[in-house]
Structure 1
Amino acid sequence: MTLAAERPNGGVQSVDRAITILEILARLGEAGVTEVAGELGVHKSTAFRLIGTMEARGLVEQADDRGKYRIGLGLVKMAGASAARTDLVQVARPSCKALAAETHETVNLAVLADGTALYLDQIAGAAALQPHNWIGQRIPLHATSNGKVLIADLEPDLVDELVPRLTRHAEATITDRASLHRELARVREQGYAVAVDELEEGLTALAAAIRDAHGDVVASLSVSGTTFRLDEATRTELVPPLLRAAEEVSLALGWVPPREPAATDG
């Protein structure tokens, strides 16, 4: 009996067949079109078209033995990215919980993804009554503290490429490109970003960078709450614990802080 015969009729047939091809290659390591067609119970030309589409997307690739195929690097990279994000959430979770408990505000973890800030995790503090669930949502880079942190270290040309349009989301949203670059310079200088009423009226957030062993910014950690509650004095109080939590996660990822220059006698 073929694998295809064992599967239910529900679902999109081509998608089911593509998944079956991946399962075949995972089991056998390598397989030719004829072998795949036999396993699927379809004509060789159908298997060839499916494999060709999957090859174009990097899901499968030709093995050294031409005519045979194996799982492609595209799929491996996707799986690796997913695993890396899962590991990041697990590593950051204790520090996020501690920060939420200390500040009583909502703590979010975000990464750069397709020109947006993608929220991976959220911990609600005691002061956050029915907080909005940001997990899985993508937010604009120029209008949020997390977004500013994620692009602050990038070259200006790359920033402009990632943020081609400075869409206005609220009255305070940065919509001028020169202003955005000045704001990113400020983020680099002070080590954290602030967004007051920039994504939506009444929402304020502060964010700091999480770095990996290479010193690259791989995520951002933020504290957010109502603008009424997070006034200027409160924001100043939140900076030290925010920076400390971001540093804890960075250290756990292998980041080594730069050494202070040694003092010399004048």
Structure 2
Amino acid sequence: MPEALGEDSAEGAQHGGVQSVDRAITVLEILSREGHAGVSEVASEMGIHKSTASRLLGALVAREIVQQNRERGKYQLGFGILRLAASIPGRLSLVQETGPVLQDLAAEYRETANLAVLRANYAVNVDQAMGPATLATQDWVGSLTPLHATASGKVLLAALPAEERQRILGETGLPAFTAQTLTSRPRLEKELLEVARTGLAFTEEEYEIGLNAAAVPVRDHLGKVIASVSVSGPSFRFRPKEQPGLLESLKQAGLEISRRMGYPTTT
């Protein structure tokens, strides 16, 4: 019997520990959302006693994860959070976090899904998931593709400061790959404004005859665009603007990868 009581006691302590961790995380979420809050506000939102809220805040203050504004008595996130956050980007692998999402996209729409990043004035494809369609056979991984003529490239270009974009396009120019390639700087800039506004980029046979694509941005924990995710396929069957559900799924894929890289989302 004593042994059984000991097990129950250990289980109860474990449950209490998990509850405390859950409550501490909730406190951090409240402070992140509101910017600052007092003991009464935290207690009220969490439905706990003020003394419990005070103990939680005190423990977080002791670890410098939360700090108290001495003038107003309110609590806010502390510098300890920055130390923790600073260690995240280096530990997250963009390709590793993206793989499952690309696989889902490729399987759902039966086309090729790619992840691209900006490297040396080009969009470089660093990961790919092949759709089951028999024509989806080209391997784009490692390929350097032009920014102005690809959907992923347009996403990456649209996210750059104007000076950096001007430098890159000044060095690469706007060479024509097909009759559909945008070679007019004003037309390209106008399209990039729309890409930045909507979070969607398209190409219709602009890089290769018979190839269409759509792309969305991937953001890091600071909201900076660090990559783009695209779906591409033969133009005779792949028309992303007309395909029901595809653009929303592509946007959600970009948000999911961004979330995995630390970007705060509401989805």
State the percentage of identical aligned residues: 39
2:122 to 89, 99, 116: 116
Matches for 1:151-230 after TM superposition, within 5 Å: 151-164=157-170, 165-230=173-238
Q: 1:239 is matched with which residue?
A: 247
- The residue number in structure 1 matching 2:262 is 254
**Structure 1 segment 17-166 matched on structure 2, within 5 A:** 87-164=93-170, 165-166=173-174
Q: 2:179, 2:206 within 8 Å by CA — same for their partners in 1?
A: yes
**Cα distance between partner residues in 1 of 2:91 and 2:198:** 27
Structure 1 counterpart of 2:99, one-letter code: R
C-alpha RMSD over aligned residues: 2.1
Unaligned runs of 5+ in 2: 1-88
C-alpha separation between the residues in 2 aligned to 1:182 and 1:156?
A: 13
**Structure 2 counterpart of 1:134, one-letter code:** W
1:188, CA displacement in angstroms? 1.1
Q: Which residue is equivalent to 1:29?
A: none
SS in structure 1 of the partner of residue 123 of structure 2: strand
Residue 189 (structure 1) shift: 1.5
What secondary structure, in the 3-state scheme, does the structure 2 residue paired with 1:169 have?
Answer: coil
Give the 3 Å change call, closer, same or farther, for CA 85–177 of structure 1 in structure 2.
Answer: farther
Hey, what's the Cα distance between the residues in 1 that align with 2:92 and 2:260?
14
Q: Is the 8 A contact 1:108 1:123 kept in 2?
A: yes
In the alignment, structure 1 segments of 5+ residues that lack a partner are: 1-82, 260-266
Offset, 1:126: 1.4
What amino acid is the match of 1:177? R
Query: What SS does structure 1 have at the residue aligned with 2:202?
Result: strand
* Alpha-carbon distance in structure 2 between the residues aligned to 1:122 and 1:218: 16
| Residue correspondences, number | 177
What's the offset of the Cα at 1:130? Answer: 4.8
Q: Aligned equivalents of 2:140 and 2:92: distance in 1? A: 16
Q: Is the 8 A contact 1:156 1:181 kept in 2?
A: no
Cα separation, 2, equivalents of 1:249 and 1:109: 10
Alignment match, 1:264? none
